Amino acid sequence: MQRLYHIVLSVAKAEFAPGPGRLREQPEPTMPKLKTMASRVNKLDTRTAPLPAKTCDPFYLSREWRVLVAKIRRERGDACEDANCKGPHYPGQRIYADHIVEISDGGAKLDPRNVLLRCSRSHGLKTARERVKRQRA
Ligand SMILES: [Zn+2]
């Protein structure tokens, strides 16, 4: 109803607009925006233990690592290499270059034999396994 009123008003204004361009386009009247109310229920953190803060080793931002990964992707094809991974794999999927033996466990940083390309599922599962191993140690 409000909208119809505005349309009628615009036409009326255009009809009676002075000057040569009688049917000039009138600026659309603006409606005040509706404000949404904030939730009155507080969020509850149900985790029993907080996850450790996510930190990124600056090594993974280094030129040497990025050059090595680009070379591996070119040579092996940008696809998941995890033989135990059940996928799903699809074109355009994000593929991670992952150290087979982690650096913190003494794995070679820049040896291509210590790097495996993994899809996000494989990478996530491996990271979770490593985290459990570390928490038990
Ligand atoms: Zn995979």
Provide the pLDDT for residue 118.
97
Rounded distance from Cα 95 to ligand 1 centre (Å): 8
The CA dihedral of 124, 128, 129, 132, to the nearest 10 degrees, is 170
Provide the pLDDT for residue 6.
57
Longest dimension (CA), the chain: 85
Tell me how far apart the alpha carbons of residues 98 and 68 are, in angstroms, rounded to a whole number: 12
Phi, psi of 53 (to 5 degrees): -60, 140
Q: What angle (nearest 5°) sits at the alpha carbon of residue 96, between those of residues 92 and 102?
A: 170
Rounded distance from Cα 84 to ligand 1 centre (Å): 8
Provide the pLDDT for residue 76.
95
pLDDT averaged per 10 residues in sequence order, the chain, 137 residues:
56 53 64 79 81 78 96 95 93 94 92 97 92 85
User: What is the gyration radius of the CA atoms in the chain, in angstroms?
Assistant: 30
Provide the pLDDT for residue 19.
53
- Give the predicted TM-score (pTM) of the model: 0.58
Rounded distance from Cα 45 to ligand 1 centre (Å): 31
Q: Give the start-to-end residue ranges of the domains of the chain.
A: 1-33, 58-136
Rounded distance from Cα 4 to ligand 1 centre (Å): 56
